[in-house]
Amino acid sequence: MKNYTSVHDVPDVAALVQEALELKKNPYAHKSLGENKTLGLIFLNPSLRTRLSTQKAALNLGMNVMVMNMDKEGWALETQDGVVMNGTTVEHIREAAAVMGQYCDILGLRSFPKLQSREEDYSEDILNKFMKYAGVPILSLESATRHPLQSLADLITITEHKPTGLRPKVVLTWAPHVKALPQAVPNSFAEWMCAADVDFVIAHPEGYELESSFTDGATITYDQDEALQNADFVYIKNWSSFHDYGKVLTEGEGWMMTNEKLAKTNNAKVMHCLPVRRGLELSHEILDGPNSIVIQEAGNRVYAAQAVIKRLLENKA
C-alpha cells in the first residue's frame, strides 16, 4: 500500500479486516517492523480517538511517533499555488509537507472541509498536495470527504458482532445536530459498506442525499421506520447537505434514535463514530444500554490503524 486515503487503496477489504482481527489477538507480534521508523501525525483540526488510537497502533508496531497540531502550533499554512504571500499565511504547503516528509517515514494528516465551497472541499486539495510534496506515504486521519480509518474500524466491529454465517442488514441513519457537520464519515461508511458483504440501507430526510459515487449499491429511503425493520446494525450520524452544500436543512425532529425505534430492529447493535451529542443524536438510554457498541467500536480504531500502518511499512497491498 502506497497511501491510505479511501477504500480504493485496499484491494481486498475482507483480508484487511481479518488482518486487523489477528493483530487484535496479538498486538505486539510485529514489534520490530517499525523499529527506527517514525510516524508523523499532522492535525489541522481537533481529535481524540484518531490521535490516540493511531499513536497506540504505531507504538504497537515499534514506531516512534511525533504529533504536530498545525492549527494551534504551526505556522499559518498557505495552500494556494501562485499567490503572493503578503497576507496572514506564513508557510506554503509545498515547503511544509516536504520538510515534514524529511523527518518521517509515514505522515498522517487530518484536514476537515470548510463547508463553504463543495468544489474546493471535494477536490481534496490539501490531502492531494501532501501526497504530492511530502515524498512519503500519506495516511488519511480524516479528510474533507472521507474517514477511512473510522470506516475500517466500523467494518471490523460489524464483523466481530455479526452472528456467524449471517449477511447482516446495516442501516446508516441521519440524526439531528446543532452544527453543520461534514459528509466525510457517512460518505466513507457508505463506500465501505458497499464494498462489504452486507445488506446496506441509508435513511435520511429529503435534501440530505450523499454524493452518489459513495452510495452506489445502497438502498436509500426517507423513511427511517421502514429502514430500521429487521436491522442488525444501526449506525447513527449527522451530516450537512451535500446538494445545498454545507447547509442544515431541518432540525430533524423525530430522527433521534431511541429505544422505541430500536424495537423495530432485529435487536440491532448501535454504532456511532463519536463524539456523540447525547440526547440529540442518540438517547441516553441507548448509549448506556446493552445494544450500544460505540466503545468497542472506538477500541477497534487501534487495530484498524495498526493493520493499515503495517501495510504501509511493508509497502504491501
Q: Which residues bind ligand CP (CB under 6 A)?
A: 47-50, 142, 150, 273-274
Widest Cα–Cα separation across the chain? 62
> What is the distance between the terminal CA atoms of the chain, rounded to a whole angstrom?
4
Which of 49, 269 has the CB closer to ligand CP?
49
Amino acid 139 reads L
Separation of alpha carbons 287 and 291, rounded Å: 8
- Give the torsion sign (CA, 274, 271, 114, 178): negative
Min CB(223)–ligand CP separation in Å: 28
Q: How far is the CB of 273 from ligand CP (least distance, A)?
A: 4
Cell of 263: 424495537
* Angstrom distance (rounded) from CA 127 to CA 289: 38
Give me the least distance between CB of 48 and ligand CP, in Å please.
Answer: 4
> Which is closer to ligand CP, CB of 48 or CB of 83?
48
* Nearer to ligand CP (CB atom), residue 108 or residue 228: 108
- Shortest Å, Cβ 272 to ligand CP: 9
Tell me the C-alpha distance between 241 and 156, whole Å. Answer: 28
Q: Which is nearer to ligand CP, 47 or 89 (CB)?
A: 47
Least gap, CB of 109 to ligand CP (angstroms): 13
What is the grid cell recorded at 233? Answer: 446494525
Number of Cβ within a 10 Å radius of residue 267: 10
How near is the Cβ of 114 to ligand CP at its closest, in Å? 17
d(CA 273, CA 139): 18
CB of 112 to ligand CP, least distance (A): 9
Cβ distance to ligand CP smaller for residue 189 or 200:
189
Residue 182's CB: how many other CB atoms inside 10 A? 23
* CB closer to ligand CP out of 48 and 76: 48
The residue of the chain with the least Cβ separation from ligand CP equals: 50
Distances (CA, A) of 294 to 154, 239, 291, 298, 300: 10, 18, 9, 6, 10
Q: How far is CA 218 from the centre of its chain?
A: 18
Residues 6+ apart with CB under 8 A from 165: none
Q: Which is nearer to ligand CP, 41 or 256 (CB)?
A: 41
Minimum gap (Å) between residue 274 Cβ and ligand CP: 5
Sheet strands (E) in 185-246: 199-203, 219-221, 233-237
CB closer to ligand CP out of 114 and 167: 114
